Protein backbone atom coordinates (compact mmCIF):
# COMPACT_ATOMS: atom_id res chain seq x y z
CA UNK A 1 0.00 0.00 0.00
CA UNK A 2 1.32 3.42 -0.93
CA UNK A 3 1.97 5.78 1.96
CA UNK A 4 0.20 9.14 1.56
CA UNK A 5 2.58 12.13 1.51
CA UNK A 6 2.54 14.33 4.61
CA UNK A 7 0.22 17.31 4.12
CA UNK A 8 1.04 20.95 5.00
CA UNK A 9 -1.37 20.85 7.97
CA UNK A 10 0.42 17.77 9.30
CA UNK A 11 3.71 19.65 9.04
CA UNK A 12 2.11 22.45 11.06
CA UNK A 13 0.99 19.95 13.71
CA UNK A 14 4.50 18.54 14.07
CA UNK A 15 5.99 22.04 14.19
CA UNK A 16 3.51 23.07 16.91
CA UNK A 17 4.41 20.00 18.93
CA UNK A 18 8.04 21.12 18.92
CA UNK A 19 7.06 24.71 19.69
CA UNK A 20 5.10 23.72 22.79
CA UNK A 21 8.14 21.87 24.13
CA UNK A 22 10.35 24.99 23.75
CA UNK A 23 11.26 26.54 27.11
CA UNK A 24 9.20 29.50 28.28
CA UNK A 25 11.54 32.49 28.12
CA UNK A 26 12.52 34.18 31.39
CA UNK A 27 13.20 37.88 31.81
CA UNK A 28 14.83 38.61 35.15
CA UNK A 29 15.51 42.04 36.62
CA UNK A 30 18.60 42.22 38.83
CA UNK A 31 18.18 45.38 40.89
CA UNK A 32 21.60 44.96 42.53
CA UNK A 33 22.21 47.38 45.45
CA UNK A 34 19.65 49.92 44.27
CA UNK A 35 16.32 51.41 45.29
CA UNK A 36 14.56 52.40 48.49
CA UNK A 37 11.46 50.92 50.06
CA UNK A 38 9.17 53.43 48.36
CA UNK A 39 11.08 53.21 45.06
CA UNK A 40 10.90 49.41 45.08
CA UNK A 41 7.17 49.40 45.74
CA UNK A 42 6.63 51.96 42.98
CA UNK A 43 8.68 49.95 40.47
CA UNK A 44 7.01 46.65 41.36
CA UNK A 45 3.56 48.27 41.19
CA UNK A 46 4.37 49.73 37.77
CA UNK A 47 5.39 46.29 36.50
CA UNK A 48 2.32 44.57 37.89
CA UNK A 49 0.12 47.25 36.27
CA UNK A 50 1.76 46.49 32.90
CA UNK A 51 1.24 42.75 33.28
CA UNK A 52 -2.42 43.25 34.15
CA UNK A 53 -2.93 45.51 31.13
CA UNK A 54 -1.08 43.03 28.86
CA UNK A 55 -2.90 39.82 29.82
CA UNK A 56 -1.01 36.57 29.09
CA UNK A 57 2.72 37.28 29.06
CA UNK A 58 5.10 36.14 26.29
CA UNK A 59 7.61 35.13 28.97
CA UNK A 60 8.09 34.47 32.66
CA UNK A 61 8.92 37.61 34.61
CA UNK A 62 11.14 37.88 37.69
CA UNK A 63 12.46 40.68 39.88
CA UNK A 64 15.43 40.31 42.24
CA UNK A 65 15.49 43.22 44.71
CA UNK A 66 18.05 43.63 47.50
CA UNK A 67 17.29 41.30 50.45
CA UNK A 68 15.72 43.92 52.73
CA UNK A 69 13.25 44.93 50.00
CA UNK A 70 11.99 41.40 49.32
CA UNK A 71 9.04 41.64 51.71
CA UNK A 72 7.68 45.02 50.57
CA UNK A 73 8.02 43.87 46.95
CA UNK A 74 6.35 40.55 47.79
CA UNK A 75 3.34 42.49 49.10
CA UNK A 76 2.97 43.99 45.61
CA UNK A 77 3.70 40.95 43.41
CA UNK A 78 1.97 38.22 45.47
CA UNK A 79 -0.67 36.48 43.33
CA UNK A 80 0.51 38.24 40.12
CA UNK A 81 2.58 37.15 37.11
CA UNK A 82 5.74 38.64 38.60
CA UNK A 83 7.99 36.22 40.52
CA UNK A 84 10.44 37.13 43.26
CA UNK A 85 14.11 36.16 43.56
CA UNK A 86 17.17 36.77 45.72
CA UNK A 87 20.52 38.08 44.43
CA UNK A 88 22.71 35.60 46.31
CA UNK A 89 22.51 33.00 49.07
CA UNK A 90 24.85 31.34 51.55
CA UNK A 91 25.59 27.63 51.09
CA UNK A 92 24.51 26.76 54.65
CA UNK A 93 20.85 26.75 55.73
CA UNK A 94 21.53 28.76 58.94
CA UNK A 95 24.20 29.59 61.47
CA UNK A 96 26.90 32.10 62.46
CA UNK A 97 27.28 33.92 59.12
CA UNK A 98 26.81 37.61 59.87
CA UNK A 99 25.33 39.54 56.96
CA UNK A 100 24.43 36.48 54.91
CA UNK A 101 21.05 35.12 53.83
CA UNK A 102 20.34 31.43 53.26
CA UNK A 103 18.39 29.84 50.42
CA UNK A 104 15.87 28.60 53.01
CA UNK A 105 15.36 32.19 54.22
CA UNK A 106 14.72 33.38 50.67
CA UNK A 107 12.23 30.55 50.19
CA UNK A 108 10.56 31.52 53.47
CA UNK A 109 9.93 35.10 52.29
CA UNK A 110 8.36 34.02 49.01
CA UNK A 111 11.25 33.75 46.53
CA UNK A 112 11.25 31.11 43.82
CA UNK A 113 14.64 31.97 42.23
CA UNK A 114 18.09 33.06 43.40
CA UNK A 115 20.99 34.44 41.35
CA UNK A 116 24.31 32.74 42.21
CA UNK A 117 27.82 33.36 40.91
CA UNK A 118 27.15 36.82 39.49
CA UNK A 119 30.48 38.28 38.35
CA UNK A 120 30.15 41.07 40.92
CA UNK A 121 30.03 38.37 43.65
CA UNK A 122 32.87 36.43 42.02
CA UNK A 123 35.00 39.61 41.91
CA UNK A 124 33.98 41.55 45.05
CA UNK A 125 33.69 38.49 47.31
CA UNK A 126 36.24 36.25 45.61
CA UNK A 127 33.68 33.55 44.98
CA UNK A 128 35.11 30.55 43.17
CA UNK A 129 33.31 28.08 40.90
CA UNK A 130 33.32 25.63 43.81
CA UNK A 131 31.56 28.13 46.10
CA UNK A 132 29.04 28.95 43.38
CA UNK A 133 28.37 25.24 42.97
CA UNK A 134 27.66 24.91 46.72
CA UNK A 135 25.27 27.87 46.56
CA UNK A 136 23.45 26.28 43.62
CA UNK A 137 23.16 23.06 45.66
CA UNK A 138 21.77 25.10 48.57
CA UNK A 139 19.17 26.60 46.23
CA UNK A 140 18.12 23.10 45.09
CA UNK A 141 17.98 21.91 48.71
CA UNK A 142 15.64 24.80 49.59
CA UNK A 143 13.47 24.32 46.48
CA UNK A 144 14.67 27.49 44.72
CA UNK A 145 15.74 27.71 41.09
CA UNK A 146 19.33 29.00 40.93
CA UNK A 147 20.26 31.32 38.06
CA UNK A 148 23.92 30.37 37.74
CA UNK A 149 25.99 33.12 36.13
CA UNK A 150 29.09 32.59 34.00
CA UNK A 151 31.08 34.82 31.66
CA UNK A 152 34.56 35.74 30.52
CA UNK A 153 36.53 38.92 31.26
CA UNK A 154 37.65 41.20 28.46
CA UNK A 155 41.23 39.91 28.77
CA UNK A 156 40.00 36.34 28.39
CA UNK A 157 37.92 37.26 25.31
CA UNK A 158 40.82 39.17 23.74
CA UNK A 159 43.05 36.15 24.31
CA UNK A 160 40.54 33.94 22.45
CA UNK A 161 39.63 32.14 25.68
CA UNK A 162 35.93 33.01 25.98
CA UNK A 163 34.56 29.55 25.16
CA UNK A 164 37.18 27.79 27.25
CA UNK A 165 36.49 30.07 30.27
CA UNK A 166 32.73 29.66 30.10
CA UNK A 167 33.15 25.90 29.58
CA UNK A 168 35.24 25.60 32.73
CA UNK A 169 32.78 27.71 34.75
CA UNK A 170 29.85 25.58 33.52
CA UNK A 171 31.72 22.38 34.40
CA UNK A 172 32.68 23.54 37.90
CA UNK A 173 29.75 25.78 38.97
CA UNK A 174 26.87 23.44 38.11
CA UNK A 175 26.11 20.68 40.62
CA UNK A 176 24.85 17.22 39.74
CA UNK A 177 21.11 16.92 39.38
CA UNK A 178 20.68 19.96 37.12
CA UNK A 179 17.60 19.78 34.91
CA UNK A 180 15.47 22.05 32.78
CA UNK A 181 12.94 22.71 35.54
CA UNK A 182 15.29 23.30 38.49
CA UNK A 183 18.10 25.46 37.06
CA UNK A 184 18.71 28.46 34.79
CA UNK A 185 22.12 29.48 33.41
CA UNK A 186 23.01 33.09 32.52
CA UNK A 187 25.87 34.00 30.19
CA UNK A 188 27.09 37.44 31.22
CA UNK A 189 30.39 38.57 29.70
CA UNK A 190 32.01 40.60 32.50
CA UNK A 191 33.06 43.34 30.08
CA UNK A 192 29.48 43.82 28.89
CA UNK A 193 27.94 44.36 32.34
CA UNK A 194 26.94 47.97 32.86
CA UNK A 195 29.20 49.19 30.04
CA UNK A 196 26.79 49.66 27.16
CA UNK A 197 28.90 47.20 25.14
CA UNK A 198 27.61 43.81 23.99
CA UNK A 199 29.10 40.90 22.05
CA UNK A 200 27.97 40.47 18.45
CA UNK A 201 24.98 38.22 17.84
CA UNK A 202 27.35 35.62 16.41
CA UNK A 203 29.53 35.70 19.52
CA UNK A 204 26.49 35.24 21.77
CA UNK A 205 25.20 32.43 19.53
CA UNK A 206 28.59 30.66 19.67
CA UNK A 207 28.77 30.75 23.49
CA UNK A 208 25.14 29.69 23.93
CA UNK A 209 25.51 26.80 21.47
CA UNK A 210 28.64 25.61 23.29
CA UNK A 211 26.87 25.84 26.66
CA UNK A 212 23.90 23.88 25.30
CA UNK A 213 26.14 21.13 23.92
CA UNK A 214 28.04 20.87 27.19
CA UNK A 215 24.82 20.69 29.23
CA UNK A 216 23.28 18.02 27.02
CA UNK A 217 26.51 16.00 27.12
CA UNK A 218 26.55 16.05 30.93
CA UNK A 219 22.87 16.11 31.93
CA UNK A 220 21.19 14.45 28.97
CA UNK A 221 18.50 15.54 26.54
CA UNK A 222 16.33 17.12 29.28
CA UNK A 223 18.75 20.04 29.38
CA UNK A 224 17.64 20.89 25.83
CA UNK A 225 14.90 22.82 27.61
CA UNK A 226 17.12 24.42 30.27
CA UNK A 227 16.84 28.17 29.95
CA UNK A 228 20.00 29.98 28.91
CA UNK A 229 19.80 33.72 29.56
CA UNK A 230 22.00 36.42 28.10
CA UNK A 231 22.94 39.35 30.36
CA UNK A 232 25.08 42.45 29.94
CA UNK A 233 23.88 45.85 28.69
CA UNK A 234 20.55 44.57 27.37
CA UNK A 235 18.34 47.60 26.65
CA UNK A 236 15.11 48.35 24.75
CA UNK A 237 17.16 49.04 21.59
CA UNK A 238 19.01 45.71 21.40
CA UNK A 239 16.62 43.33 23.22
CA UNK A 240 14.72 42.11 20.18
CA UNK A 241 17.87 41.16 18.27
CA UNK A 242 19.48 39.48 21.28
CA UNK A 243 16.34 37.56 22.24
CA UNK A 244 16.01 36.20 18.69
CA UNK A 245 19.42 34.48 18.81
CA UNK A 246 19.37 30.66 18.86
CA UNK A 247 19.58 29.19 22.37
CA UNK A 248 18.87 32.55 24.05
CA UNK A 249 15.87 31.82 26.26
CA UNK A 250 15.64 35.14 28.04
CA UNK A 251 17.69 37.84 29.70
CA UNK A 252 19.20 38.90 33.00
CA UNK A 253 18.77 42.66 33.05
CA UNK A 254 20.58 45.05 35.40
CA UNK A 255 20.41 48.82 34.80
CA UNK A 256 17.44 48.68 32.42
CA UNK A 257 15.37 46.75 35.00
CA UNK A 258 15.30 49.74 37.38
CA UNK A 259 12.63 51.62 35.42
CA UNK A 260 9.35 50.32 34.02
CA UNK A 261 9.93 52.42 30.87
CA UNK A 262 13.14 50.54 30.04
CA UNK A 263 12.29 47.10 31.47
CA UNK A 264 8.87 46.66 29.91
CA UNK A 265 10.01 47.06 26.26
CA UNK A 266 12.54 44.26 26.94
CA UNK A 267 9.69 42.00 28.11
CA UNK A 268 7.84 43.01 24.94
CA UNK A 269 10.79 41.87 22.82
CA UNK A 270 9.28 38.36 23.11
CA UNK A 271 5.81 39.38 21.97
P1 LIG B 1 23.45 45.35 33.07
O2 LIG B 1 23.72 44.25 34.19
O3 LIG B 1 22.17 45.00 32.37
O4 LIG B 1 23.36 46.66 33.83
O5 LIG B 1 24.63 45.34 32.16
C6 LIG B 1 23.40 42.90 33.97
C7 LIG B 1 23.75 42.09 35.19
O8 LIG B 1 24.75 42.39 35.84
O9 LIG B 1 23.03 41.14 35.54
User: 185-228 pLDDT, tens per residue?
Assistant: 999 999 999 999 999 999 999 999 999 999 999 999 989 999 99
Strand stretches in 124-166, DSSP E: 145-150
Cite the active site residues: 118, 188
Residue 27 contacts residue 267 (beta carbons within 8 Å)? yes
Q: Report which ligand 1 atom has the smallest distance to the Cα of 115.
A: 9
Share of the chain above pLDDT 90, in %: 89
Which pLDDT does position 5 carry in this prediction? 43
- Atom 6 in ligand 1: residue holding the nearest Cα: 254
Q: Model-level pTM?
A: 0.92
Give the pLDDT band (50/70/90) at residue 10. very low
Tell me the C-alpha distance between 76 and 136, whole Å: 27
Residue 25 scores a pLDDT above 50: yes
pLDDT of 13:
42
Q: Which atom of ligand 1 is nearest to the CA of 235?
A: 3
Domains of the chain by residue range? 23-268
23-268 — its CATH code?
3.20.20.70
266, 27 Cβ separation under 8 angstroms: yes
Tell me, using a 6 A CB cutoff, whether residue 234 lines ligand 1: yes
User: Could you give the CA distance from residue 61 to residue 86 in angstroms, rounded to a whole number?
Assistant: 14
Q: Is the pLDDT of residue 238 over 60?
A: yes
Q: Which long-range contacts (CB under 8 A, 24 or more apart) does 234-239 make?
A: 234/198, 234/266, 235/262, 235/266, 236/262, 236/265, 236/266, 236/269, 238/198, 239/265, 239/266, 239/269
- φ, ψ of residue 195 to 5 degrees: the values are -105, -15
Residue 255 near ligand 1, beta carbon < 6 Å: yes
Amino acid sequence: MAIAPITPSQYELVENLFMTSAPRPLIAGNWKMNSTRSGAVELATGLVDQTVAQGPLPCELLVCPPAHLLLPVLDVVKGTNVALGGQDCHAEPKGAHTGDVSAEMLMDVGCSFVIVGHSERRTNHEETDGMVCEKAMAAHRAGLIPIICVGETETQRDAGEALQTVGRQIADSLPDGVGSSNTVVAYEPVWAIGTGRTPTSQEIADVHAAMRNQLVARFGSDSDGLRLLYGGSVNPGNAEEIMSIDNVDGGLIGGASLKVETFWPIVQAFA
